[in-house]
Amino acid sequence: MEWFWKLNGVVNGIVWGPWMLAFLVGTGVWLTLVLRFPQVRYFGMMFTEVLGNVRKKSSSAGTISSFAAMATALAATVGTGNIAGVATALHLGGPGALIWMMISAVFGMTTKFSEVTLAVRYREECADGSHRGGTMYILEKALGMKWLAVIFAIFTVFASFGIGNMVQSNSTAEGIAMGFGIPPYITGIIIAVIVGLVIWGGLKRIATVTVYLVPFMAIFYIIGALGIIILHADAIPAAVANAFRGAFCDPMALPGAIAGWSVKAAITRGIARGVFSNEAGLGSAPMVHCAARTDHPVRQGLYGLFEVFMDTIIICNLTALTILVTGVLTNSPDLTGAKLSLAAFSGVFGHGGVMILSLALSLFALSTILGWYWYAETAIVYLTNSTALVTPFKILWMVLIVLGAWGGGTYLANLWDLSDTLNGLMAVPNLIGLVLLTKELRRLVDDFDKKLKDGTLKR
């Protein structure tokens, strides 16, 4: 298999290389200009819509509430990348990676907004009254490109095995072992049972669980991270200044900087980790947002804006700041990933910090497993045009959870790299669809603005 992993390394370098990252961010910039900065114009309305309608019941067509759809999508995006991925970006790209992560997130908000809007526009109603949709349905129904839709669905299924399952269960097991000393295989079995009980209830049960899980785990982690940042408030100005210097200037002049940092590394690592975390442009979240009960596609798009804002601009930013203000990035140059974040938490809270981070890491990973299951099921149903394989796939999903938690070492590292490649390849068909449907997006946004103005739709 050595040749295969080498080939994957080459493809990965292309998928997450400068040209592809430019395509990802460039699409966000293009859509931002064409749609007249929706992340700015709808910023206040976004909060009103999301936070003001948590318990709101809608009579509009759909399977689950708008908030539940966003919670499920957010469950899939808020994962180990928010802790381990951010730390890795800082380790490889320096403090400047944080700034580029935030820049990519600002434009990524428009990309996710556009994906979600189109998903609702081109969703399909099933025989049982439920709704399915996503990039594959958009490519087929709006553009007649079924061949590209099939490619996207295949990438989704295979990417889900690693990035949405085994890697996440392994992170959960490691986190629990770190904080509570429970053997990984036991954690894997427990996770498989919990996930099985949830996914057997379909999207409605997944959404019900994530509606409670996502806010709890986000608030839990935010409080812990804010505690560290507040205790090191005096170091914030210097940390922010170093981040801006590293983003736009030669960071080799920074005190304690690790040799090899460069502006290029800051840009590529920052953007790559930002996109990897919030999945803006990858086309994953539309597969659940399409099921939302909403009166207009653009209204659900507001939840896409909030999703990226919460995932990257809030949670990823807090992770980065805990690492920068505590000084572990320069004081422990040999650490990376979750261990770097762990050093920041344990350095402030001792073993209590280990427990906080391990529990947060576990909850993030568990939520990702739930969200990505639905993405994989949606892709399988699309490819087979049947639900016959859904039950066998649920069993396979549970088995993979146990194997991922139990395993470790080289094969999981290789699986992570392969999943990373497949995850990035999902973006290609999705971005093509977004660019080709720019006029339709502009029409939908204009229609939404018009109906808000004349009172047809309520704010």
Supply the DSSP string of 75-140, one letter for each residue. Answer: HHHSSGGGTHHHHHHHHHH-THHHHHHHHHHHHHHHHHHHHHHHHHHT-EE-TTS-EE-SHHHHHH
Percent of the chain residues past pLDDT 70, beyond the cut? 90
Q: Which domains does the chain have, with CATH numbers?
A: 8-446 (1.20.1740.10)
pLDDT, residue 253, reads 44
Whose tokens are 């986000």? That residue is 218
- 238-242, 270-274, 363-367: segment of lowest average pLDDT: 270-274
Tell me how far apart the alpha carbons of residues 347 and 338 are, in angstroms, rounded to a whole number: 14
3-state DSSP assignment of residue 167:
helix
Q: Which runs of consecutive H residues, i.e. helices, occur in 385-437? A: 390-406, 410-436
The predicted model scores a pTM of 0.89
3-state DSSP assignment of residue 188:
helix
- The string of pLDDT tens digits covering residues 86-119 is 887 787 778 888 888 898 899 999 999 999 999 9
Tell me how far apart the alpha carbons of residues 379 and 439 are, in angstroms, rounded to a whole number: 27
- The string of pLDDT tens digits covering residues 158-195 is 888 877 888 888 877 877 787 778 888 898 999 999 99
- CA-closest candidate to residue 242, choices 230, 253, 227, 231: 253
Average pLDDT over residues 213-220: 88
Tell me how far apart the alpha carbons of residues 278 and 73 are, in angstroms, rounded to a whole number: 10
3-state DSSP assignment of residue 293:
strand
Tell me how far apart the alpha carbons of residues 51 and 47 are, in angstroms, rounded to a whole number: 6
The answer to whether 31 touches 434, Cβ cutoff 8 Å, is yes
- The string of pLDDT tens digits covering residues 125-158 is 877 777 889 999 999 999 999 999 999 999 999 8
The answer to whether 384 touches 191, Cβ cutoff 8 Å, is no
Both tokens assigned to 448: 């939404």
Residues 6+ apart with CB under 8 A from 458: none
pLDDT, residue 110, reads 96
Tell me how far apart the alpha carbons of residues 292 and 67 are, in angstroms, rounded to a whole number: 8
Average pLDDT over residues 438-448: 96
Tell me how far apart the alpha carbons of residues 219 and 223 are, in angstroms, rounded to a whole number: 6
